[in-house]
Amino acid sequence: MLTVIGETLIDEVVSDTASPRAHVGGSPMNVAVGLARLGHPAQFVGRYGDDAYGRMIQQHLRKNSVLSPFGPDAHPTSVATARLDPAGGASYEFQLVWDLPELQGNAADLLNGTTLLHTGSIATMLVPGAAEVLRLVEQAHPRATITYDPNCRPTIIRDVDFARAAAERFVALADVVKASDEDLEWLYPERSAQDSARAWLAGNCSLVVVTRGSKGPWGICAAGEVEVRAPATSVVDTVGAGDSFMAALLGALVDLELDGAHRREELHRITQEQLTAVLTYAAQAAAVTVSRAGANPPTRSELSRLNYPV
């Protein structure tokens, strides 16, 4: 079982010239859906309210065969609202609740059978829930591979020193970290994204990957550094591309049987050839996602037809 813990929310687009549009979002939730579509049993640990938007989230998880151990709570579902001006410019408003009191006393059940735990984004930085997520990761570490994507949101967590300290707490526990070059350049403006990744690898990580948009991903492991070209594709939008990349990256490592704390040493010995194959697979997943609207990750059969096996 692969467990993803983090936020889910509704992305709402409002303008004076069109009807409001709403769709299910949230980086960790997108990763859980991406894993399930790639054929990996996944459960999503997050929160949503007992309201119309919460029911949208429930339906989306159920439709994609993602298990959800917690039901709705008494708070409203979190919403990110983009308000478009007549020229198409957007201003953003956030109504976020991030607290998981249900974790108290349920961690053992949630982690039973979990070989990989993924988290990141708002969930690892927004209080009070971030502390609960950190405790779950600490409990999972002796039994599961830990993976992390900071997926920084400077419009929500504006204090870069606070965000850096939060990210480093999770990096210290993580076996695999994926970050965008924008994330790393915001967290560490005095050095390159690659140098920041090298510094993170010098801790406990086995693998650090940097996504660079159209430049393609770059990764580093104990065996060395590799980079992969981004596949050529027609871009509709980039919504969810990083989450699709993350899901495929994790799915590829599971396919290589490198998940689970008992395989931590094997993961640390991943070869450059294996890392190249993993990044190629993940880049193709992201390319499929950007070729169509919204956070719509590919299925395993779609990637198989594109001849990108791990």
**Residue 99, pLDDT above cutoff 70:** yes
Distance between terminal CA atoms of the chain? Answer: 20
| Contact (Cβ atoms closer than 8 angstroms) between residue 121 and residue 28 | yes
* pLDDT band per the 50, 70, 90 thresholds, residue 191: very high
User: 309 versus 86: which is more confidently predicted?
Assistant: 86
* Amino acid 124: pLDDT: 98
* pLDDT band per the 50, 70, 90 thresholds, residue 92: confident
* Amino acid 103: pLDDT: 81
* Amino acid 287: pLDDT: 94
**Residue 310, pLDDT above cutoff 60:** no
What does the pLDDT look like over 207-265, one tens digit per residue? 999 999 999 999 999 999 999 999 988 888 788 899 999 999 999 999 999 999 999 99
Sign of CA dihedral 70, 75, 76, 81: negative
Per-residue burial over 246-285, b = 16 or more CB atoms within 10 Å of its CB, e = otherwise: bbbbbbbbbbbebbbbebbeebbebeeebbebbbbbbbbb
Helix 52-63 to helix 27-37 angle (10° resolution) is: 30
Query: Which of the residue ranges 67-71, 117-121, 236-240, 294-298 has the most confident prediction, judged by mean pLDDT?
Result: 117-121
For residues 260 and 257, give the distance between their C-alpha atoms in angstroms, rounded to a whole number.
Answer: 8
**Residue 90, pLDDT above cutoff 70:** no
Structural domains of the chain ordered from first start:
2-305 (3.40.1190.20)
| Mean model confidence pLDDT for the chain | 92
pTM score: 0.94
In the predicted model, what is the mean pLDDT of residues 6-29?
A: 86
What does the pLDDT look like over 254-304, one tens digit per residue? 999 999 999 999 999 999 999 999 999 999 999 999 888 878 899 998 988
In the predicted model, what is the mean pLDDT of residues 150-162?
A: 95
* Amino acid 307: pLDDT: 56
| Contact (Cβ atoms closer than 8 angstroms) between residue 255 and residue 198 | no
For residues 199 and 176, give the distance between their C-alpha atoms in angstroms, rounded to a whole number.
Answer: 14
Q: Which two tokens stand for residue 71?
A: 């039901």
